[in-house]
Every structure is written in C-alpha cells, then in structure tokens.
Amino acid sequence: MSTDSISSDAPHKLRVMHAVLLLVGSCLPILGAVLLAPLLPQMAQHFAAVPHAGVLVPLVLTMPALMVGLLGPSAGFVVDRFGRKVPLIVALLCYSALGTAPLWLDNLYGVLASRFGLGIVEAIIITCFTALIGDYYADQQRERMLAWQTMTGSLSAALFFVVGGALGELGWRTPFWLYVVGALMAPCVALMLWEPIQRTPSGADVSRHVTRFPWRHNVWLYVLTWCAGMALFIVAVQLGFMLAGIGVHAPKLIGIAIGASHTAVLCGAICSRWFGRLGRVRVLCVAFALAGASLVLLGSASSYSQAVLAVLLNGFGSGLMIPTLASWALANLPVALRGRGSGGFMASFYLGEFMSPLVVVAVTSLTGGLVPAVRTLGVVLVVVALACAVQWVMQRRAAPVEA
C-alpha cells in the first residue's frame, strides 16, 4: 500500500470491509434512479388529478440525477474545504430523511421538493465516496477499485430494478423505505473511515494552500465523460422503443436485453484493468469506437439477436470507459483537490445521463426518426474515438512516453 493510501494523521490498514463500504455507498445514488422506474405508472395514476402530472411524475425519477449533474463541482468544493467524513455523515442522514419523505407526503409538489433535496445530498455522497477511493488507494489499486465501483453500480442497477418492481406490488410508496439505508450506513462511516484531508500546524485546511483546481485543463475529460453518460443511457432509455420497432414487444425479451447490457458493463469494467496496459487514451479510443459502432448496429438491427449484440458491444465499451475516465479524473491530484476532481467527473457523467433523452429527441427532429437518430449518434461517438486517437498521436509526438 502506498503512502498515498493512508490518513494524514496515522497509518491505516485497508481491509475488505473498507472497500465494501466505499463500493456500497457509491451505489446509493443509483438506488433512486433505478428503484423507482417500475413505479412511475402507479404514481402517475395516483396523482392523475394534478395538472401536468404526465410531465411532473417522471421528474421524480430524474430530478436527483439532474441535481448531481448541476452540483457536482460545488459538492467537490465542499468536501475539499470541510473534509470528507462530516459532510458524508450529514449527507447520509439527510439521504434517509429526504428519501423516505414520499412515505408521508401526499402532494406531488412536496414529493418533487424532497427529490430536489435528495439530489443535493446525493451529489455530496457520490463525490465523497469517489474522492475517498482516490484518497485511500493509489496506482493500480485505485484503478482496480474504480473498476469495482463501475461493476458494483451495474450489478446494483439490475438488482434495484427487480427489487423496485417486487416492492411496487405492495404499493408505489413501499420502495421508499429502502432509503433508510443511509441512516444505517452513517455509523459505519463514522467508525470505519478516517479523514484524509491534511491539516497545517495551525489546524487550517491544507486546501487553502493548494493551487486552484485545473478546470480548463480537464475540459476534454469532462466532454468525454458527458459523452459516456449519454451513450450509456441511450441504450437504457431507447432500447424498448428500438425493439418495438423490429416487432419485439415481449417484456421478458426486453428485460433479457437490458440484463445483457448490465452484464456487458460488468465485463468491460473487469477487462479495463488489462486494457489499461495499452494506456488511458488508447483504451478510450477502443471504448468509444465500440460504443459508437454498437449504436450504428442497433439502428440497423432487423432482428432481436442483432439488437442484443449491439447492446453487448455498448455495455462492454461503457464498462471500459467509465473506470478509465474516473481514474483520469483523480490522477495526479493532491488530496486537497480530489473532491473537486470527483465532483467534476460525476457532474459530467450524470448530466450526460440526464440529457441523453433530450439529445435523442433533438437529433430525431433533425433526422426524421428514432432509428436514424441512434445511428447518427453512433457515428458521432466513432468521431469521438477518432479524436482520442488524434490526441494519442499528438502526445506521442510531443514526448516518447506512453500516453
């Protein structure tokens, strides 16, 4: 274990329980994004009398992701300025309070307000846990943990989707009880994790003495991360419509295809460790090329097997790119800036997910249909892969070292 993986106060030996806590905590924002998806029809029926309920009810699902996207950099500043543990513990308690609020609220606007607040604390939670992975682990161990973070997120998404549907049989409010997990995790965080932010002899936060965060230097990273979130969500949101277009309407078959996508993300994240030997930029070339080709294939699919193949390629490419981009976001940053590095990465990724349906609608209006729109976006991702290739060539010419 490198010295980059210990607290500033005293050495701490990392154990499996620390890794499990960091990985499980990273899944909390996924809980709301996936758990409630099967409940939207019931919620729409319950709030049918509310004006514009058809527009407002889906916001119950997407509002937290939007807030994470908008507030990620601010959350990063908070956890760099005030440390990791205290903001994280407070956010976990607020997560449970706001997450379970719809159990008692019978006003759609009140539910939306609670989801708005939930998104704010989720931004702090995911930023803290990702920053702590960067704080506690270094080099290959960090990359391994970030790959595990992607794998755990993919598995939890599949699990939460099933659990949400099962609990939804007891009523649309029932799944909101699962948000108590935040309050259960708070004592574990308080007892098991340590504060990595260093202090000066006067007790001041060392981040005051660190240079400004290199936002401009990371613009290309954030563009790629936004594209990754958008590409992953194109399949998640549009797959059912694409399959219906080729005559596949059975929910079972659609569910199998979605499950195949999650499995492929898992495999891609596992393989990112071995692909990482090629260098970060070349991995991203491969990942975006696969994601782009998969959308072209999905837009050209005329059978279920072809669509599933496209989904597998997309998931594998996404599984490669997410941990690679996360590792890039935390690379070469001192501990006092990793919160902002984590927050910028998460903001870009969640904004990409939130804006994915909007981008598809915009491109659909230009191309005249969903199928050509998906193909067009696939070509755009292939162009992004080519841009990564050009970047790698320029880096090779600037210095003989591997990118």
- With respect to residue 210, please indicate whether it lies within any of the assigned structural domains: no
- What phi-psi label fits residue 160: left (phi over 0), alpha (psi between -120 and 50 degrees) or beta? alpha
- With respect to residue 206, please indicate whether it lies within any of the assigned structural domains: no
pLDDT at 296: 94
Mean pLDDT of 330-336: 80
pLDDT at 94: 95
User: Which letter does DSSP use for residue 199 in this model?
Assistant: B
Model confidence at 393: pLDDT above 80: no
Q: Return all residues near 327 (Cβ < 8 A) that are at least 6 apart.
A: 142, 143, 146, 276, 280
Q: Return all residues near 128 (Cβ < 8 A) that are at least 6 apart.
A: 25, 79, 84, 87, 88, 91, 339, 342
- With respect to residue 306, please indicate whether it lies within any of the assigned structural domains: yes
Of all residues in the chain, the percent with pLDDT exceeding 70 is: 89
d(C-alpha 94, C-alpha 122), whole Å: 9
d(C-alpha 253, C-alpha 250), whole Å: 5
pLDDT at 38: 67
Q: Within a 10 A sphere around the Cβ of 171, how many other Cβ atoms?
A: 12
No. of helices (H) and no. of strands (E), the chain: 14, 0
Q: Are residues 44 and 85 in the same domain?
A: yes
Mean pLDDT of 375-384: 94
- With respect to residue 403, please indicate whether it lies within any of the assigned structural domains: no
Q: Are residues 104 and 135 in the same domain?
A: yes
User: Which H or E run includes 330?
Assistant: helix 304-330
The domain of 338 spans: 216-398
Of 166, 196, 226, the residue that ends a domain is 196
> Which tokens is 203 given?
């007790």
Q: Are residues 181 and 226 in the same domain?
A: no
pLDDT at 91: 94
Tens of pLDDT, residue by residue over 125-150, are 999 998 898 888 887 788 888 888 88
Tens of pLDDT, residue by residue over 236-269, are 778 877 888 888 877 677 777 877 887 888 888 8
Tens of pLDDT, residue by residue over 291-329, are 999 999 998 888 889 999 999 999 999 889 988 898 888
- With respect to residue 204, please indicate whether it lies within any of the assigned structural domains: no
**Prediction pTM value:** 0.78
- With respect to residue 205, please indicate whether it lies within any of the assigned structural domains: no
d(C-alpha 137, C-alpha 169), whole Å: 42
With 0-12 / 13-18 / 19 or more C-beta atoms within 10 angstroms meaning exposed / middle / buried, residue 40 is middle
pLDDT at 165: 67
Q: Are residues 150 and 252 in the same domain?
A: no
For residue 364, the domain's CATH number is: 1.20.1250.20
Nearest to 14 by CA among 132, 174, 179: 132
Q: Are residues 35 and 136 in the same domain?
A: yes
- With respect to residue 203, please indicate whether it lies within any of the assigned structural domains: no
Tens of pLDDT, residue by residue over 2-40, are 434 433 333 467 788 888 999 999 888 887 666 776 677
Domain count along the chain: 2
Q: Are residues 191 and 222 in the same domain?
A: no
Tens of pLDDT, residue by residue over 266-280, are 888 888 878 877 778
Model confidence at 60: pLDDT above 90: no
- With respect to residue 135, please indicate whether it lies within any of the assigned structural domains: yes
Q: Return all residues near 107 (Cβ < 8 A) that are at least 6 apart.
A: none
